[in-house]
């Protein structure tokens, strides 16, 4: 049974590492892991961990995840409803993008009414996360550093 727990943890760890690859990363720590366990099902975490960095049509995401298009579409719609995925309509179809932590699923989490998620507990976890070592610096350096922009 321990191998199932370890496999599940590896899925969430892979998702956390994928989120940290966004331009505004999400440094991985125990608070982030707790947040991800509350927001993502194991299936959603598996999909999120394999998401490309750029918005892609469902066909490309199906290739990256190895899922059937019909099953993937259902998962992506549920994730979009929860604010974990952005669905972007384009002339040639809908493109999907894994929502980053900021500006992304942090905000979307709290603008939706949800059953089954203790919002107070989740808010406290986000507060601990944003106050933890490395996280504040990541956000500040990404958003408030004008050194990132051409002069």
Cβ neighbours of residue 81 under 8 Å, at least 6 residues apart? none
Separation between Cα atoms, residue 59 and residue 32, nearest integer Å: 29
The most confident of the ranges 42-46, 107-111, 118-122 is 42-46
Name which of 34-38, 41-45, 94-98, 133-137 the model is least confident about.
Answer: 133-137
pLDDT score for 126: 93
pTM (2 decimals)? 0.86
Separation between Cα atoms, residue 26 and residue 40, nearest integer Å: 15
pLDDT score for 150: 45
Give pLDDT tens digits for 56-105.
Answer: 999 999 999 999 999 999 999 999 999 999 999 999 999 999 999 988 88
């Amino acid at each position: 049974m321990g191998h199932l727990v370890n496999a599940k943890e590896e899925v969430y760890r892979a998702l956390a590492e994928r989120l940290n690859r966004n331009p505004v990363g999400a440094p991985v720590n125990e608070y982030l892991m707790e947040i991800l366990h509350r927001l993502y099902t194991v299936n959603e975490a598996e999909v999120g961990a394999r998401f490309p960095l750029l918005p892609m049509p469902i066909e490309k995401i199906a290739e990256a995840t190895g899922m059937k298009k019909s099953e993937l579409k259902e998962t992506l719609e549920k994730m979009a409803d929860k604010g974990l995925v952005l669905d972007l309509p384009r002339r040639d179809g809908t493109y999907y993008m894994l929502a980053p932590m900021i500006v992304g699923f942090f905000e979307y989490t709290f603008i939706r009414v949800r059953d089954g998620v203790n919002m107070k507990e989740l808010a406290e976890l986000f507060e601990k996360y944003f106050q933890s070592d490395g996280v504040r610096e990541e956000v500040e350096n990404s958003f408030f550093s004008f050194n990132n922009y051409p002069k």
